[in-house]
Amino acid sequence: MVQIFKFLLKSNKSPARAHFRPSFLDTLRLAVRGGHGGNGLPKYGGVGGQGGCVYFVAKEGLTLRKMAQGLKDRRVAASSGEDSSKVSIFGKRGVDTRIEVPVGVQVYDEQQKLLADLNENDAKCIVAGGGTGGCTGNNFLGRPGENRIVNLDLKLIADVGLVGFPNAGKSTLLKAVSNAKPKIAAYPFTTIRPQIGTIEYGDLRSISLADLPGLIEGAHANFGMGHKFLKHIERTRLLLFMVDIFGFQLSPRHPHRDCLANIYSLNKELELYDPSLLEKPCVLLLNKMDKEGAHDILTKVKPIIDDLSSGLADCPEEVRPKRVLKFESIVPISAINSTRVTQVKSQLRRTLVRLAEKQFVSDGEQIKEQLQQRVGLVGPRIT
């Protein structure tokens, strides 16, 4: 009888969903606790060992999901310091707990205060200090370690951020220029998580390109997946905007926006989310140029895109930005046929090289200034 029941229960089990993929994880909450300080020994003036601390180390190639899998109950503690004893007057320090986190993680406390920004491989930060050991100052009673909740917020780091409304052809471009294998389909929101691809050049240089999906009108106010993906733009050095030359309509309930309105709308979304994003260098791609009528639209809109402020008066009020973007370059392309894709690759590289040069010069100036201050008037002359 038991066997029959077992068989029936087994056969009723629903099959695993073949399309199931774990979703992208970019935030994680952890409880961290430093070790308790060991007690001192009053009779001999012995000092207890300090509690161990919990610290994070950034490691490339690690994801928050992988990290979370290793921390099932989301609690991390370090061990306590040793008590002072007759044979060991100074108690041993507690063992520290090292937790590896992905590069690009920002650590916040419960009051949303930034504790650390781990954006380099091997960058470290202590998130919970150990308690002090018992000594004369605390009546030989060891103190508890720091105990708090920390929030980890992962922001992707890529050289280039690909920004555009759904269906513009971002995944198609990513596939054409890089080694990424994104999902492509003729309906919006095919891409549900950021994808990063590497563009490789003949001289073995490479740059990373992140497709940041989910941007829609109102994303700045957290509509759609709003902030979840907008935040990733902050860490990119160059913005690559992409619009469909024929415009875009989110759904039959939403108005159809032509290509110009789309550009203004993207401009406004970034401006409202964080105006400093508008200072990043940017390149615009006008996609789907292989379709009939695309060149006529391009001839009409190109002069306005060259100087976006000239078209502001005709722009629908709800998508009108206060400050307009100035594109370094505007490239009409067909991502599906790879037309002018090589030009896009060279343009991205040129802009990034120029940026790096600028940064190098300004770093150099800063170092020179610091040196001059340190050496002062008595040292050798710095030219």
Binding residues vs ligand GTP (CB under 6 A): 164, 166-172, 184-186, 188-191, 213, 287-288, 290-291, 334-336
Which pair of structure tokens corresponds to residue 269?
């979304």
Measure the CA–CA gap between 301 and 305, rounded to whole angstroms.
Answer: 6
Min CB(165)–ligand GTP separation in Å: 7
Identity of the residue, 191 or 267, whose beta carbon is nearer to ligand GTP in the bound complex: 191
Largest Cα span, the chain? 98
Identity of the residue, 80 or 334, whose beta carbon is nearer to ligand GTP in the bound complex: 334
| Residue 52 is labelled as binding a ligand | no
Identity of the residue, 150 or 250, whose beta carbon is nearer to ligand GTP in the bound complex: 250
| Residue 197 is labelled as binding a ligand | no
Identity of the residue, 25 or 341, whose beta carbon is nearer to ligand GTP in the bound complex: 341
Q: How many Cα neighbours within 13 Å face the side chain of 48? A: 31
Min CB(97)–ligand GTP separation in Å: 40
Which pair of structure tokens corresponds to residue 381?
């002359």
Distance set, CA 374 to CA 36, 48, 378 (Å): 43, 42, 10
On whether the CB atoms of residues 34 and 146 are closer than 8 A, the answer is yes
Distance set, CA 202 to CA 173, 206, 346 (Å): 19, 9, 11
Q: What are phi and psi of 269, to 5 degrees?
A: -60, -45
Min CB(134)–ligand GTP separation in Å: 59
| Residue 174 is labelled as binding a ligand | no
| Residue 288 is labelled as binding a ligand | yes
| Residue 48 is labelled as binding a ligand | no
| Residue 287 is labelled as binding a ligand | yes
H/E stretch holding 336 = none
Min CB(199)–ligand GTP separation in Å: 16
Give Rg (Cα) of the chain. 28
The CB density around residue 226, as the number of other CB atoms within 10 Å, is 18
| Residue 167 is labelled as binding a ligand | yes
Which pair of structure tokens corresponds to residue 132?
């002090």
Identity of the residue, 37 or 164, whose beta carbon is nearer to ligand GTP in the bound complex: 164
Min CB(110)–ligand GTP separation in Å: 34
Q: How many Cα neighbours within 13 Å face the side chain of 264? A: 23
Q: Which residue is nearest to ligand GTP (CB)?
A: 169
Measure the CA–CA gap between 383 and 374, rounded to whole angstroms.
Answer: 14
| Residue 162 is labelled as binding a ligand | no
| Residue 224 is labelled as binding a ligand | no
Distance set, CA 8 to CA 3, 14, 16, 17 (Å): 9, 12, 18, 21
Min CB(188)–ligand GTP separation in Å: 4
Min CB(18)–ligand GTP separation in Å: 21
Identity of the residue, 42 or 188, whose beta carbon is nearer to ligand GTP in the bound complex: 188
Identity of the residue, 91 or 182, whose beta carbon is nearer to ligand GTP in the bound complex: 182
Annotated binding site for GTP: 164-171, 211-215, 287-290
Annotated binding site: 164-171, 211-215, 287-290
